Each structure stands twice: as structure tokens, then as C-alpha cells.
Amino acid sequence: MILVKERKLLEFMCMVKREAGTDSFNAEFPPTHAKKGRGSSRKRRNGGYRRGSTSLPDVTTIFGGFDGMALSPDEVEAYVFLQECLEMRKRYVFREAVAPWDKEVISDPSTPKPNPDPFLYIPEGKSDHYFEMQDGVIRVYPDRDEKEELFPVADATTFFTDLHHLLRVIAAGNIRTLCHHRLNLLEQKFNLHLMLNADREFLAQKSAPHRDFYNVRKVDTHVHHSACMNQKHLLRFIKSKLRKEPDELYVLGINPVMSFFNIYDLNVDLLDVHADKSTFHGFDKFNLKYNPCGQSRLREIFLKQDNLIQGRFLGELTKQVFSDLAASKYQMAEYRISIYGRKQSEWDQLASWIVNNDLYSENVVWLIQLPRLYNMYKEMGIVTSFLNMLDNIFIPLFEVTVNPDSHPQLHVFLKQVCYSSMLTF
């Protein structure tokens, strides 16, 4: 029953694609009535469409014309809403005119060669582009006198209208039911694939020369930078600093913190930075795990970049992690660093810390995450409005894009950033 409905949905989407002037979807999922015989005549008897027609047939005609398997009105309504959401998504997805893989021809597909001077800044000059913030949306123009946008985007009113429409669609019971059935179907199809092909894929994997799990390239994603090291590594680093630089740690205030502990008694259990089952769906407990030995002062000294020593300890610890990744050769990482939006200088402080500590590795890229802490900052008086927070986050990025000389270190750092992410907690 479910497979028949899936086929009918695909056929309806194929028809929509053809009416729009493309058969790419139809080529991937050929409809069953494309074959000659009873299926074709039955489809025509049930009020089928004609190629080149100017209007789309009724959805119930498409889904209800095969073997008496008519869809319920709730299912038809859900399919229509989902199709509207897919069309809405196209208005917000940016696509380059030329695909990135077509811009650069890769003549040597081997391992990328190391960059000898990744932080070298070459002045590029200022462009004529002009931008301004309008109701939370930045508009970009070719120059100050031009009134036509380079990249037209929806205004705030349109965005919130579409957002509220999506929220209503998500909350609809019939759509939740349909999506639940769809996920179950995909899971069963994958289980069927495993039953049929698991042994065959395992044999093919064993026959691949010079390749196994340990020498294929792996990427660690969603790793917070302050947690990029394992707990044993962090413990060794803290002990090393307590032995080699006790005077500087005393100035930073670590002596009162460590007065309860003997340096030789420190162990992984006492450090208590391992995320166990108590942190699942409990962000407050998860955040406390960033405090070594339960002391926020230790976190500020060893795991922060904006402290009295300008994050020197965290920089040294990060370079040790980079060295371990380079030694493993086949392990890559994507580390997350937070920009909070409290002030516009956050971007320059972060870039300065990266450049001054020479934090670069061919195995690592950076991801910028934006925690949604506006309510907290508003209550504390750090920001005056949500627009103020948006300015702090995005204005420096557009300034350095228009004029790299205004933020040279940020210009160099952004070349190592892959993308940004909005946190949902």
C-alpha cells in the first residue's frame, strides 16, 4: 500500500517537473504508465493529462486513478502543502551561476599541498560595493548611487510570513502522520538493502587494495573547539603547566583554586570533563563539563581565548591537537568557535588570536556557531535590541568583504572558515 502511494507521489512530481519544462526528475524515477499496455490506457481512461497542456490536473486524479487506490483528503492536502514548502525553499536557497567544482580544474587530485604561509596578507584594495542594514536585512548594491540590489533577498515581513506558514505546516497532524510513515518507509527500505547487499558490500570492501577503516579519510564534525582534546590530553597539559609555569599560574589566580588538590593526585575522574548520560538533553549539565575539576576559573585560564594571557594556553593546546591530527594523516576535523554578538570587535579578537598563535592545519577547518542568547544579553544590558546584535554579528563581515584592509587579520582568517551555524538551544 505504501509503495503504491510512493510511486503515485513520484509520478505527480514528475508531471509537475514536465509542466515546468524539465524531465530530470522523470529520468531518475520513470513513471509506471510510461510503458505501453494496459497501464497507459487505464491512465488515459482515468482522466490523465496531455503533454504540453497549460493546466495541471487535479491531485486526486493523479493519486486516485490507479487500481482504486485513492488517497484520503488528508493525504492529498499533506502532499500539496509539502510541495508548496519545497517551492518556497527555492526562494531562499542561493545557487551560484557557475558551480564551484566547475570554476577550478583540479589537475592533481592527490592530497592537497601544505600552504607555506597561510597567514600572509596581500592588500587587495577597496571595492565600490555599498551595503546597508534595512529592518534586519543587509542590502548590497554595486555602488552608493545604484538602487538595484546585487542579490535581492526577501524582506523581513515576507520572511516571517513564510516562517509562520512553515510552523503551521509542521504542527498539522496529517502532515506529521505522513512524514512519520515516510520515515518508517525509508528505514524499512534501508533494512531491506542491508539484508540483500550487506555481505556483498563487505566482500567488496575487503577486496579494495590498501584501504581499510584506519587509512580512509575521516572528518570529525560538530566538535566544539574547547573540547577538541580528550580528557587525558587536557590533564597532561594542566599538570605540565603546574610544574613548568607555577608563577604565572599563581598570578592568574590558580593557586587558590588548586589548594584543595595535590598536583600528583589529579586524575581523569577528578578532572570530571567527560560527558556522561546525565548530560543528555540537559544543556546546563553539559556546559558544566567544560569546567575542569568543577572550577570555572580553570576553564577561563585553560579553555578561553579572551583572558589575561590572550588565550596562550588554549593556543598551545590547540597546536598539540593539530600535531596529533597531522600525525594520523587520515583524520580531519571541523572545529566550532562561537561568536556571541555582544560587540563588533569579537570577530577581530578571534581572528587576532588565530593569527598570533599561528593556528593552521591542513587537516582542520573552522566553523562559526552563533548561540541564541539574545534574551540573556538583553536582560544584562549588553545589547539594546535584536538589531544591535545582528549588527555586531554581520556588519564586520560585510566591512571586510568590501574593504579587506579594514580587517586584515579577519580577512585571512575567513579563508579557513567553511560556514556558520545557528545553535538551537
Instruction: Give yes or no for residue 43 having a pLDDT over 70.
Output: no
Instruction: Give yes or no for residue 125 having a pLDDT over 90.
Output: no
How much is the pLDDT for 10?
56
Q: Which residue has the higher pLDDT, 255 or 371?
A: 371
Q: Going by DSSP bridges, is the β-strand pair 130-134/137-141 parallel, antiparallel, or unpaired?
A: antiparallel
Instruction: Give yes or no for residue 87 having a pLDDT over 80.
Output: yes
Q: Going by DSSP bridges, is the β-strand pair 130-134/218-224 parallel, antiparallel, or unpaired?
A: unpaired
Which of 71, 96, 121 marks a domain boundary?
Answer: 96
Instruction: Give yes or no for residue 143 having a pLDDT over 50.
Output: yes
How much is the pLDDT for 397?
92
Residue 165 is assigned to a structural domain of this protein: no
Q: Which domain holds residue 267?
A: 215-422
- 281 pLDDT band, cuts 50/70/90, is low
Residue 335 is assigned to a structural domain of this protein: yes
How much is the pLDDT for 20?
47
Structure confidence by residue, pLDDT tens digits, 199-224: 998 888 888 777 777 777 888 888 88
Three-class DSSP category at 333: strand
How far apart are the C-alpha atoms of 203 and 206, rounded to whole Å? 5
Residue 393 is assigned to a structural domain of this protein: yes
Task: Give whichever of 5-14, 34-43, 80-89, 271-280 has the largest mean pLDDT.
Answer: 80-89
Between 18-22, 130-134, 239-243, 400-404, the lowest mean confidence (pLDDT) is in 18-22
Instruction: Give yes or no for residue 257 having a pLDDT over 60.
Output: no
Q: Is 224 annotated as a binding residue?
A: yes
Mean pLDDT of 161-183: 91
DSSP symbol at 23: -
Residue carrying C-alpha cell 567553511: 418
Residue 50 is assigned to a structural domain of this protein: yes
Which of 96, 124, 140 marks a domain boundary?
Answer: 96
Instruction: Report the sign of the C-alpha dihedral through residues 40, 43, 44, 48, in that order.
Output: negative
How much is the pLDDT for 271?
66
Mean pLDDT of 364-390: 90
Mean pLDDT of 41-55: 40
Instruction: Give yes or no for residue 377 having a pLDDT over 50.
Output: yes
Residue 78 is assigned to a structural domain of this protein: yes
How much is the pLDDT for 196?
93
How far apart are the C-alpha atoms of 173 and 416, rounded to whole Å? 43
Q: Which residue has the higher pLDDT, 114 or 196?
A: 196
- 28 pLDDT band, cuts 50/70/90, is very low
Domain count, the chain: 2
Mean pLDDT of 396-413: 91
Residue 74 is assigned to a structural domain of this protein: yes
- 308 pLDDT band, cuts 50/70/90, is confident
Percent of the chain having pLDDT more than 70? 70
How much is the pLDDT for 227?
81
How much is the pLDDT for 194?
93
Instruction: Give yes or no for residue 273 having a pLDDT over 90.
Output: no
The rounded mean pLDDT for the chain is 76
How much is the pLDDT for 209?
79
Between 139-143, 288-292, 317-321, 340-344, the lowest mean confidence (pLDDT) is in 288-292
Mean pLDDT of 39-43: 42
DSSP symbol at 357: T
Task: Give whichever of 86-90, 235-239, 259-263, 294-298 has the largest mean pLDDT.
Answer: 86-90
Q: Which residue has the higher pLDDT, 124 or 296?
A: 124
Residue 33 is assigned to a structural domain of this protein: yes
Residues near 417 by beta carbon (within 8 Å), at least 6 away in sequence: 365, 366, 367, 368
How much is the pLDDT for 392?
92
Q: Is 285 annotated as a binding residue?
A: yes
- 38 pLDDT band, cuts 50/70/90, is very low
Mean pLDDT of 349-365: 90
How far apart are the C-alpha atoms of 171 and 350, rounded to whole Å? 40
How much is the pLDDT for 283?
59
Residue 128 is assigned to a structural domain of this protein: no
Question: Do residues 383 and 248 both lie within one domain?
Answer: yes
Q: Is 286 annotated as a binding residue?
A: yes
Which of 96, 123, 157 marks a domain boundary?
Answer: 96
How far apart are the C-alpha atoms of 277 and 346, rounded to whole Å? 34
Instruction: Give yes or no for residue 247 having a pLDDT over 50.
Output: yes
Residues near 307 by beta carbon (within 8 Å), at least 6 away in sequence: 252, 300, 301
DSSP symbol at 260: T
- 396 pLDDT band, cuts 50/70/90, is very high
How much is the pLDDT for 212?
74
Asked if residue 43 lies in contact with residue 33, where contact means CB atoms within 8 angstroms, the answer is yes
CA distances from 283 to 71, 181, 275, 276, 424 (A): 43, 31, 11, 12, 11
Mean pLDDT of 163-181: 91
Encode burial over 129-155: b for 16+ CB neighbours within 10 A, e otherwise: bbbeeeeeebbbbeeeeeeeeeeeeee
How much is the pLDDT for 75?
84
Instruction: Report the sign of the C-alpha dihedral through residues 201, 202, 206, 210, in that order.
Output: positive
DSSP string, 98-126: S-HHHHS--S--SSPPPPS-TT-------
Q: Is 164 annotated as a binding residue?
A: no
Instruction: Give yes or no for residue 126 having a pLDDT over 70.
Output: yes
